[in-house]
Structure 1
Amino acid sequence: MALSEAFDLLRRGRTLDIYETLKAAQSTAIRELTFERERLTDGTVRERWQVDNDDDARRLKAIIQSESPRIEDIGAFPPHLLAEANAPRLSERIETFLGDMRLAERSQTNLDDTIYTLHLFLELTGDKPLHRLTTDDVRAFLRAMEVYPSNASKKKVFRGLTPKEILAKAQREDHPRLSMRTKDKHKDRLAAFLNAQVAEDLLTKSPHKAILNRDKSKTDAPSREPFSPEELAALFDSEAFPKWAAKYPHRWWGTILGVATGARLNELAQLYVDDVRLEAGHFGIHIRASREGQRLKNAHSSRFVPLPSSVLGAGFMTFVEDLRRAGCERLFPHLPFSQANGFGDAMGDQFRAFAIKQGLTGRLKSFHCFRHNVTNGLINEHGVAIHTTQEITGHDLSLPSGLKHYVNPGTIPNRVMALEAYGPPVPLPTYKAGQFDASFKQLKHMDKRRQRATKKRQVSRSKASD
């Protein structure tokens, strides 16, 4: 009744404390959206409106925007109620933000991760007007992430449950929880969304900024580490590796390029034959996004990585000639493309299965560990300058803006010397000309199977939508 009483006072010319009135309105237990219209004997019309919660605001907005509103004189609505009813809601701003990400051509993985985080925040927080978001809302979400189960969307035990129901179940039961890195990524994605709303003047300040960040020195979860010498020996066992890798070129040369250059999994998986070039007298690979399906993690990732003599001596250029003779455009033509993750999924899954078979059962033992081997080996073991290492690995350069490491001929000799010093520290198997000719002949059949599978999925989706 607080608002209605306030209106009566205002009509009589009385003054009142607006802050206390709104505070009383927010604390009321009434849950109905109230519209009252009374015509007095002298012809005066008295109207009352009462909005107590988010549902009320949504209903009021629907009435105002209706083609045939039931309240005759919409203009008589108090200004603060009209503002509340027409204020952008959290759900609307999330969809706008995601649309901006698509327009900016952010990677599908980044987009999917952001969709998951923001929709989770929406479900747990409620679809309130954007301007009513508070630091407590963000704080409640981060606390929920402390107990939210990992991979909840993939586990049968949570199938069919809403995020609130999943959270309640996780609080009652013992389930594996999100890693520290995952929780921090949720916060980072939410912060990016909130900062965008501030930039658009829809929020005066971002509600997440009042919350302290984690103390990294105490709370960092274990990250991927380099493969140990024993683990590298197991991966490149003289009998096991050739037997496993002989099936596909990406197993053989993808793994060798990984241990020799530290390039990211997807950077190698998406290479084309013409990405192998001679620059400043040295053969190497161009990591770039110039062809269909190629992507870069960031602007610093575009680079030329020379190949050490051990890789060339193992027959890499002979393999490249075999690809050209077979008419293949891509360096690893057997790898399928996925819109979400590019060409790297199959290569990563197959490597992981092989590593487990070789005894590397740790959860963080993946292809990415090669990257740590190269970085650690160059800097800590061989004393290579940090900027040279960054030119090889594609990390953010610690140099003034404008200096790039893509194909700077003057720096290529330093990159070659660095990679020669590194090794790689394992013996590499020798490639034989024509080794993958039989697998190249399978490509047409593989493409046909993939096309049939794609068509089958499209038909299934079409039937489901009908």
Structure 2
Amino acid sequence: MVDINKLLQDMQGRMDLTIGGVTLPNGVQLQNVYIETPDDERQFRELMAASAAPVATPQARVAVKAQPSVDDLLSAHGNVHLDDLKRAGRDAKTIMESRHSLYLLEGIIGNKPVAGLTGDDCRTFFDEVAYWPRHATKRAEFVGLSVREVLHKAKTMNEPPPAQATVNKHHQRLSTFFNWLKKNKRITDNPLLGLVRQDKDDAQEETGRAFTQAELDAIFEPVAFRAWAEHHAHRWWVPMLALYSGARVTELSQLYLADVEVIDGIPGVHINRRFPGQKLKNKQSRRFVPLAQPVLDAGFMAFVDDVRTAGNKRLFPQLPNNDGNGFGRQMSKQFADYIKKRGVTEAGMGMHAFRHTLATRLARAKVPLETISKITGHKGSEGTLGKFYVDEPTLAERVAALAAFSSNVTLPNYIQ
């Protein structure tokens, strides 16, 4: 038998009451009753009120909402999805970011059955994630708090909203997850499809800017730069290569000795994914970047010879890839710390600004955008750059383009 009054008191103000199994006074048996909505509560109260009356037949049945299987919940399917991403060879950063979006989704809307996900759940998610503070998992004031507690605290602290690009990435990751659920026949439709998406043009935002000439002068000031870099090959060469190639920090930090090659008399570096630990942002990233003359004049090929003599396979073996997110993380952090000491303190400024600097100055020098794309690894206007790994007919064109780039700084010479 069951204490009806106690049950009603227990469920007061709760939407997550679970009743394993009880027998009511009228003989009706309840098994795995799961109450999570106001309608569930209303039906249960009506059932309790009627339980004192005799039942017409011992076979009377009562419709109750069964507790969902653990395997049906958002958390379970999220874990399987992440395992599938690993199995498919997605890089560690993609998996980490997908895990973060799913963690926030569950924390905001609850660990509910995926079959019940709706467009309103998605709207709730985006309304709330707009308050998620930057670097929340690393900040002392948020340690040990749940997602909802972090959001509540962030609202009281008037934290700045995340960048629109960050919100767009959440949308992309969740859409990938929902489409995966649909393909696995766990849901019938992607609940994001009903939401009005921001126009692409409106969603675009500047993800950084070029260095000013004053900033470049401060970064490569001979005494300061040599003091910071001379005992670390990656500090010495990666900024120089970034300045004159526009390559991403990870692309440069992961270079192997075999990536340096002379083709048709033109020395350059392969940006590719041929050796352990190397990664690419996309298929357009595969390219051969000629080495600019100032980099050659600074002694880069002599450095390459020294690496070969030392028996190293990687150009910058001091840079680790401990977490699988790429060899560029340490380089990026070290450079960011250095430029702050040199007066470049604006948020978001770092190695990527070299990429903006090269592209901006080449465009001002009237270099065709198609040629700039071949150097930087952006998608070309015809969308075909991905198949041109070296594209020898345009090598001279790229050499000429890099010759049009002027940094107005003097690179220090490499001393063997």
Is 1:182 the equivalent of 2:192?
A: no
**Aligned 8 A contact 1:284 1:306 in 2:** yes
Provide, for residues 346-397 of structure 1, a one-character-per-residue CA deviation record: whole Å limited to 9, x for no partner. Answer: 211111111011100111210110011111122x212222222111111123
Counterpart of 1:151 (choices 126, 131, 135) is 135
Judged with a 3 Å threshold, the aligned counterparts in structure 2 of structure 1 residues 216 and 303 are, in CA distance, closer, same or farther, namely closer
Deviation, 1:256, is 0.5
Judged with a 3 Å threshold, the aligned counterparts in structure 2 of structure 1 residues 92 and 295 are, in CA distance, closer, same or farther, namely same
Aligned to 2:7: none
Judged with a 3 Å threshold, the aligned counterparts in structure 2 of structure 1 residues 132 and 235 are, in CA distance, closer, same or farther, namely same
Unaligned regions of 5+ residues in structure 2, if any?
1-36
**Aligned 8 A contact 1:194 1:206 in 2:** yes
Unaligned regions of 5+ residues in structure 1, if any?
1-22, 63-86, 435-466
Instruction: State the one-letter code of the partner of 2:131.
Output: V
**Aligned 8 A contact 1:256 1:428 in 2:** yes
TM-score under structure 1 length normalisation: 0.75
**Aligned 8 A contact 2:253 2:319 in 1:** yes
Alignment coverage as a number of residue pairs = 377
Counterpart of 2:400 (choices 391, 394, 417) is 417
Report matched runs for 1:116-127 at 5 Å.
116-127=100-111
Report matched runs for 1:235-274 at 5 Å.
235-274=219-258
Deviation, 1:202, is 3.0
Deviation, 1:217, is 6.0
Is 1:46 the equivalent of 2:60?
A: yes
Instruction: State the one-letter code of the partner of 1:421.
Output: A
Judged with a 3 Å threshold, the aligned counterparts in structure 2 of structure 1 residues 327 and 88 are, in CA distance, closer, same or farther, namely same
Q: Partners of 2:46 and 2:289 in 1: how far apart?
A: 67
Deviation, 1:158, is 1.5
Q: Partners of 2:409 and 2:62 in 1: how far apart?
A: 81
Deviation, 1:27, is 7.2
- Partner secondary structure for residue 130 of structure 2: helix
Judged with a 3 Å threshold, the aligned counterparts in structure 2 of structure 1 residues 286 and 221 are, in CA distance, closer, same or farther, namely closer
Provide, for residues 271-303 of structure 1, a one-character-per-residue CA deviation record: whole Å limited to 9, x for no partner. Answer: 111211001220000111111111111111111
Report matched runs for 1:410-449 at 5 Å.
410-432=393-415, 434=416
Aligned to 1:464: none
Counterpart of 1:131 (choices 110, 115, 129) is 115
Deviation, 1:195, is 2.4
Q: Partners of 1:404 and 1:337 in 2: how far apart?
A: 28
- Partner secondary structure for residue 407 of structure 1: coil
Deviation, 1:24, is 9.9
Q: Partners of 1:334 and 1:389 in 2: how far apart?
A: 31
- Partner secondary structure for residue 362 of structure 1: coil
Q: Partners of 2:134 and 2:161 in 1: how far apart?
A: 5
Identity %: 36
**Aligned 8 A contact 1:39 1:46 in 2:** no
Instruction: State the one-letter code of the partner of 1:259.
Output: L
Deviation, 1:400, is 5.0
Aligned to 1:30: 44
Q: Partners of 1:422 and 1:207 in 2: how far apart?
A: 48
Instruction: State the one-letter code of the partner of 1:284.
Output: G
Is 1:230 the equivalent of 2:214?
A: yes
Judged with a 3 Å threshold, the aligned counterparts in structure 2 of structure 1 residues 290 and 205 are, in CA distance, closer, same or farther, namely same
- Partner secondary structure for residue 45 of structure 1: coil
Deviation, 1:405, is 2.4
Is 1:398 the equivalent of 2:384?
A: no
Judged with a 3 Å threshold, the aligned counterparts in structure 2 of structure 1 residues 107 and 201 are, in CA distance, closer, same or farther, namely same
Aligned to 1:300: 284
Q: Partners of 1:222 and 1:103 in 2: how far apart?
A: 34
Is 1:367 the equivalent of 2:351?
A: yes
Deviation, 1:39, is 12
Deviation, 1:408, is 1.3
Q: Partners of 1:203 and 1:253 in 2: how far apart?
A: 51
Instruction: State the one-letter code of the partner of 2:414.
Output: Y
Is 1:194 the equivalent of 2:178?
A: yes
Deviation, 1:114, is 0.6
Instruction: State the one-letter code of the partner of 2:116.
Output: R
Aligned to 2:72: 88
Larger mean CA deviation between 416-425 and 276-285 belongs to 416-425
Judged with a 3 Å threshold, the aligned counterparts in structure 2 of structure 1 residues 243 and 171 are, in CA distance, closer, same or farther, namely closer
